[in-house]
Amino acid sequence: MRVALFVACFDDAMFPATGKAVTTLLERLGHEVVYPPGQTCCGQVHWTTGYHREAAVLARAFTNTFEACEVVVTPSASCAAAVRHAYPRIARTVRDPALARAAEGLAVYELTEFLVDVLGAADVGAYFPHRVTYHPSCQSTRTLGVADRPLRLLRAVKGLDLVELPEAGECCGFGGAFAMKNADVSVAMVADKVRHVRDTGADVVCAVDNSCLAHIGGALSRLRGGVRFMHLAEILAETGPT
């Protein structure tokens, strides 16, 4: 397939290795990856903080950029959720039926959805000999409903020891602007999450949203506990020594 990669502005600015990992992974599976240069922020943050007209401008830019693409894949569950679920609401709010039609015509997938549901590839040939735990981000589970797709992919990675994260369904406390507007609550929530991560004895905590991982990883780094954080795509891109 010819896959259009939507990196997401958070990843592009702070975690460029994730976009590179997605490209490496999909090309290894035999697909062509293209990067439409006109892409920018999907508008999720603007929408959730009440800047509806600004969100509509970004949504129109997104649909214009990707309208001719067969399929769009992103390593950001929250951005995929914004396009698929927030764009129709944005269109209704600003009374733009053309935007609603454009959004409906897009085939946008979060990476694990694309691998498992579209490609039927739970085993992507990865090798990662480490003890790993998985944090299911709120957007991936509550909005997108990715369910066990990330876990199916992790279980198929050779050498990987997957350990269950206690109270996995609890929010890490990031929530975009929530972490800034409700800092004390956010810090308390991530303290709980980090305690559970450390209880697993994992070497690595992974997720399908770098926003959550930045929050969890920041808290882990302050404890100097030696637990790394990695996007799931980076694990799946690993093949070990050749």
Average pLDDT over residues 139-163: 94
Dist. CA 75–CA 8, nearest whole Å: 8
| pLDDT attached to residue 226 | 84
Provide, rounded to the nearest whole percent, the portion of the chain with pLDDT above 70: 99
Give residue 224's pLDDT.
Answer: 77
- What's the pLDDT tens digit per position in 168-215? 999 988 877 777 788 899 889 999 999 999 999 999 999 999 999 999
Q: Give the model's pLDDT for residue 175.
A: 79
In this predicted model, what pLDDT tens digit does every residue of 128-139 receive, in sequence order?
999 999 999 998
pLDDT-derived band of residue 104, with 50, 70 and 90 as boundaries?
very high
pLDDT band at 231 (very low <50, low <70, confident <90, very high): very high
Q: How many residues does the chain have?
A: 242
Helix ranges restricted to H, 87-209:
87-93, 97-104, 111-113, 138, 149-155, 178-181, 183-199
> Tell me, what's the pLDDT at 72?
98
pLDDT bucket at 125, cuts 50 / 70 / 90:
very high
Tell me the C-alpha distance between 123 and 36, whole Å: 28
Work out the widest C-alpha separation in the chain, in whole angstroms: 55
pLDDT at 112: 97
